[in-house]
Every structure is written in structure tokens, then in C-alpha cells.
């Protein structure tokens, strides 16, 4: 294994630019996009699937419904608009590492791996999480 040179940057091995359109999306944008998606799923879950706490009577979002909403948003929007709403708001898109449309099965497998958390926080020198490497996708700036 060779160590990256001082002037190497994420995405260089994949032929991507250092910065700007088409470059690897950095962790700050990714985290912000994830927070947007989780918050929106939580709001929708609270609005439509909230139940009162049996002891206090205070309503709370059903966690199962909220997670299903998050999964549905990921699986539906990635092939339709090239990313989740959070990705698009933060100026990113998901594409195949070889270029092109991600198809229908990749968002499903990617979302299942994302739900396991560990594949999303373990990444390589190109800042691709294991969930992206497993399905051959890459998150780039748009």
C-alpha cells in the first residue's frame, strides 16, 4: 500500500477535479445533507404519525414511521433527481463512479448500508464511504 502524496486530493485517482463542479463532496456538506434528510423525515413522521406518550400525554414521532420515511425518500429521490433532497439542497448529486445514472437497485442497497451507520463512517482516501463503494457510487458537487 502506498501512502498518498502531499499534493494528492480526494477524487484524483478517480479522475475528478480538485474542487468545484464534479469534485468529491466534502464531509461538511454530507453531514449537513444527512441532517436535512433526517430532520425532514422527523417532521413528516411527527406531523402524520405522532402518538401521545402514555404517561405524559406529550405527542412524539413514531420512530419506525420516521425511519421508513427516511428510507423511502432516499430510495425514491436518488434515482429521480440524482440525490436526496438534502444532497440537492447542499449542491451535491450521486452518480456512478464510472459516470451515469445510478439505476434502481443501488439506492436500495446504499440506503440499507447507510442505516447500518458503520459503512457510512468508514471511508477511503477518496472520501467514499463503504456504502458508496459497495454499490459503485460517488457523491460529487453539482
111 within 8 A of 105, measured Cβ to Cβ:
no
What are the residue boundaries of the structural domains of the chain, listed by start?
27-141
Q: What does residue 93 show for φ and ψ, rounded to 5 degrees?
A: -145, 150
Task: Please give the average per-residue pLDDT across 106-133, as a whole number.
Answer: 91
Q: Which pLDDT belongs to residue 42?
A: 95
Residue 24's DSSP bridge partners are 140
Residue 141's DSSP bridge partners are 92
132 within 8 A of 30, measured Cβ to Cβ:
no
Q: What pLDDT digit, counting tens, does each position of 71-86 carry?
A: 999 999 999 999 999 9
Q: How far apart, in whole angstroms, are the C-alpha atoms of residue 92 and residue 36? A: 13
Q: How far apart, in whole angstroms, are the C-alpha atoms of residue 17 and residue 14? A: 9
Q: What pLDDT digit, counting tens, does each position of 113-126 carry?
A: 999 988 888 988 88
pTM, full prediction = 0.87
Amino acid at each position: 500500500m502506498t501512502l498518498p502524496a502531499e499534493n494528492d486530493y480526494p477524487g484524483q485517482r478517480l479522475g475528478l477535479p480538485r474542487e468545484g463542479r464534479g469534485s468529491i463532496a466534502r464531509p461538511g456538506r454530507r453531514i449537513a445533507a444527512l441532517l436535512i434528510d433526517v430532520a425532514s423525515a422527523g417532521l413528516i413522521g411527527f406531523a402524520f404519525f405522532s402518538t401521545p406518550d402514555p404517561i405524559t400525554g406529550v405527542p412524539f414521532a413514531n420512530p419506525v414511521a420516521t425511519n421508513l420515511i427516511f428510507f423511502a425518500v432516499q430510495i425514491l429521490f436518488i434515482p429521480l433527481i440524482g440525490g436526496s433532497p438534502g444532497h440537492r439542497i447542499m449542491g451535491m448529486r450521486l452518480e456512478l463512479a464510472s459516470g451515469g445514472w445510478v439505476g434502481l437497485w443501488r439506492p436500495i442497497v446504499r440506503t440499507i448500508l447507510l442505516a447500518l451507520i458503520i459503512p457510512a463512517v468508514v471511508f477511503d482516501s477518496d472520501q467514499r464511504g463503504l456504502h458508496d463503494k459497495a454499490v459503485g457510487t460517488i457523491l460529487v458537487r453539482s
